[in-house]
Amino acid sequence: IFMSLMDSITGKLFAKSPTEAIVDINGIRFRIHISISTYESLPSVGNPVELLTHLHVKEDILDLFGFKDSSERNLFINLNTITGIGPRSAMNILSGTNPNEFKNRIVSGDVQSLTVIPGIGPKTAKRIIVELKDKFVKLSADELPKEEGDASPELNDAYDALLALGFLSQDIKNEIGKVYQKGSGMKTEEIVRKVLIKLQ
């Protein structure tokens, strides 16, 4: 996950449209690109507003993108790692679906359902599935130590954290089951730390 210089912005909503929001902070107005779903979550003009942000820097261009929640921002950042998908295209994709629905389509490998989203053709859909599916597949009960019939929240959180650090899904699964001790009360941080020792 790429970190942005600006994590969030809080001010008064000066103006809004389905693609942009202008936020006033003590007389300085920021133009922020948004998705339709974020637009629908905005308050009325003149009211306080807070948006999570991502600052996109390219040559002499600075573009600020805003999001209603972290799941939307995380998907935007993941989409930007794919060749051929820039920030504007990623925002268009977010406007055509919601993050959970989109992730489910990727995990299921459903190329056809992805192509109904504006901006995604068959080739792009296949590329998205190949490059992102591994990041969205949750730990399954048959791949990890079972706790009440399923992976514990700590395991899932540790898995997500290690994926975000750039490790491969299969490598994480191979090691996480070795360090995790059922019923030990291991916290997410402890699981991550022990797996990191194994993977580095």
Which amino acid does the sequence have at 15?
A: A
What are the residues facing 66 on neighbouring strands?
A: 53
pLDDT tens digit string along 152-191? 677 777 887 787 777 777 788 888 878 876 666 778 888 8
Q: What's at 146, amino acid-wise?
A: K
pTM of the model: 0.65
Highest mean pLDDT among 80-84, 137-141, 166-170: 80-84
47-51, 80-84, 168-172, 178-182: the lowest-pLDDT one: 178-182
Helix (H, G, I), strand (E, B) or coil at 199: helix
21: how many CB neighbours lie within 10 A of its CB? 24
2 Cβ contact list (under 8 Å, min separation 6):
77, 80
| Calpha distance 15→102 (Å, rounded) | 29
Share of the chain above pLDDT 90, in %: 25
Q: What does DSSP assign to residue 187?
A: -
Q: In this predicted structure, what is the pLDDT of residue 36?
A: 92
Structure tokens at 161: 């954290």
pLDDT score, position 198: 81
3-class DSSP assignment, residue 82: coil
Average pLDDT, the chain: 82
- pLDDT over threshold 50, residue 149: no
Residue 200 clears pLDDT 80, i.e. is over it = no
* Average pLDDT score over residue span 129-133: 84
